[in-house]
Structure 1
Amino acid sequence: MSTASIPLTKSAPLSFETRVRSLKLAIVASLLLIWEAMARSGLLFEDVVPSIVVVVAALGGVLVDPVFYSNLAITAWEVGTAILVGGVTGLAVGFVLGNSRFLSRAYEPFLYYLGPTPKIIFFPLLIMWFGIGPGSKAALGALSSFFPIAIATAAAIRSVDPILLRVGASFRLSRWQTFYKIFLPAIRGPLTNGFRLGLGIAIIGTVLAETKLSNQGIGYLIIQTYTTFNMARMYALLLLLFAIAILLNAALSRLARRFGA
Structure 2
Amino acid sequence: MAETGRLTRTAAPASPMGAVTLLRIAIVLITLLVWEVLARSGWLYRDVVPSLLSIGAALVDLLSTPEYYRHLAVTSGEIAVAMAIGGVAGMVVGLALGANRFLSKAYESFLYYLGPTPKIIFFPIMIMWFGVGPGSKIALGTLSCFFPVALSVAAGMREIDKVLIRVGRSFRANTWQMVMKIYLPAMRHPIINGLRIGFGVALIGTLLAETKLSNQGIGFLIIQAYAIFDMPRMYANLIVLFVLAIGVNALIGKAGGIESVRRS
TM-score over 0.5 for the pair:
yes
Rounded Cα–Cα distance in structure 2 between residues aligned with 1:209 and 1:19: 41
The Cα of 1:255 is off from its aligned counterpart by 1.3
Task: Confirm or deny that 1:231 pairs with 2:227.
Answer: no
Rounded Cα–Cα distance in structure 1 between residues aligned with 2:188 and 2:112: 22
Q: Which residue of the partner structure matches residue 121 of structure 2?
A: 121
The Cα of 1:239 is off from its aligned counterpart by 0.6
CA RMSD, Structure 1 to Structure 2 (Å):
1.6
Task: Confirm or deny that 1:240 pairs with 2:240.
Answer: yes
Q: Which residue of the partner structure matches residue 98 of structure 2?
A: 98
Q: Which residue of the partner structure matches residue 35 of structure 2?
A: 35
Q: Which residue of the partner structure matches residue 4 of structure 1?
A: none
Rounded Cα–Cα distance in structure 2 between residues aligned with 1:119 and 1:134: 16
The Cα of 1:184 is off from its aligned counterpart by 1.0
Aligned length: 250
Q: Which residue of the partner structure matches residue 200 of structure 1?
A: 200
Q: Map 1:55-66 onto structure 2 (within 5 A).
A: 55-66=55-66
Structure 1: any 5+ residue segments left out of the alignment? 1-11
Rounded Cα–Cα distance in structure 2 between residues aligned with 1:39 and 1:166: 63
Identity among equivalent pairs (%): 56
Q: Tell me, yes or no, if the aligned pair for 2:189 and 2:258 is still in contact at 8 Å.
A: no
Q: Which residue of the partner structure matches residue 21 of structure 2?
A: 21
Q: Map 1:114-193 onto structure 2 (within 5 A).
A: 114-193=114-193
Change over 3 Å in CA distance of 1:260–1:162 after alignment to 2:
farther
Task: Confirm or deny that 1:88 pairs with 2:88.
Answer: yes
Rounded Cα–Cα distance in structure 2 between residues aligned with 1:67 and 1:211: 18
Rounded Cα–Cα distance in structure 1 between residues aligned with 2:250 and 2:258: 12
Query: What are the Cα deviations for residues 50-83 of structure 1, in whole angstroms up to 9, with x where unaligned?
Result: 1101100111001101121000000011001100
Q: Tell me, yes or no, if the aligned pair for 2:83 and 2:199 is still in contact at 8 Å.
A: yes
Q: Tell me, yes or no, if the aligned pair for 2:39 and 2:51 is still in contact at 8 Å.
A: yes
The Cα of 1:160 is off from its aligned counterpart by 0.6
The Cα of 1:134 is off from its aligned counterpart by 0.6
Q: Map 1:74-85 onto structure 2 (within 5 A).
A: 74-85=74-85
Rounded Cα–Cα distance in structure 1 between residues aligned with 2:196 and 2:225: 29
Partner of 1:116, secondary structure, is coil
Q: Tell me, yes or no, if the aligned pair for 2:87 and 2:146 is still in contact at 8 Å.
A: yes
Query: What are the Cα deviations for residues 176-209 of structure 1, in whole angstroms up to 9, with x where unaligned?
Result: 1111111111100111000010011100000010
Rounded Cα–Cα distance in structure 1 between residues aligned with 2:84 and 2:237: 25
Rounded Cα–Cα distance in structure 2 between residues aligned with 1:172 and 1:157: 19
The Cα of 1:142 is off from its aligned counterpart by 0.3
Change over 3 Å in CA distance of 1:260–1:186 after alignment to 2:
farther
Letter in 2 for 1:85: I
Change over 3 Å in CA distance of 1:23–1:92 after alignment to 2:
same
* Structure 1 consecutive aligned stretches of length 4 or more whose deviation exceeds 6 Å: 258-261
Rounded Cα–Cα distance in structure 2 between residues aligned with 1:52 and 1:14: 37
Query: What are the Cα deviations for residues 59-117 of structure 1, in whole angstroms up to 9, with x where unaligned?
Result: 10011011210000000110011001100110000000001111100100000000000
Structure 2: any 5+ residue segments left out of the alignment? 1-11
The Cα of 1:259 is off from its aligned counterpart by 11
Q: Which residue of the partner structure matches residue 249 of structure 1?
A: 249
TM-score, normalised with respect to structure 1: 0.93
